[in-house]
Structure 1
Amino acid sequence: MFNMHKFILNGYIQWAFASVVQFYVGKRYYINAYRNLKIKVQIWMF
């Protein structure tokens, strides 16, 4: 329990958790971007 902070502060663990969250939250965006690139549609999103 006292060494838990070393586990949480590990950069690889943070990267793994952040990657899962990034792709889960951005899944719809990435799918739509891929489909638009496939049909060569340019949509600028700001």
Structure 2
Amino acid sequence: TETPIRTKWVCRPVGYDNKQVYRKYMGFGPSRLNQLKKAGII
């Protein structure tokens, strides 16, 4: 066909899914994430 291919994204930026991973898979809540950010861990 003549329809051009459209790409939504090639890849996501580094760290794009971090918040979801921390919350969903590691069980960190907002206060824990803030503690880790302030400590320079994440």
Normalization by structure 2: what TM-score?
0.31
Normalization by structure 1: what TM-score?
0.29
Larger RCO: Structure 1 or Structure 2 (Cα < 8 Å, ≥ 6 residues apart)?
2
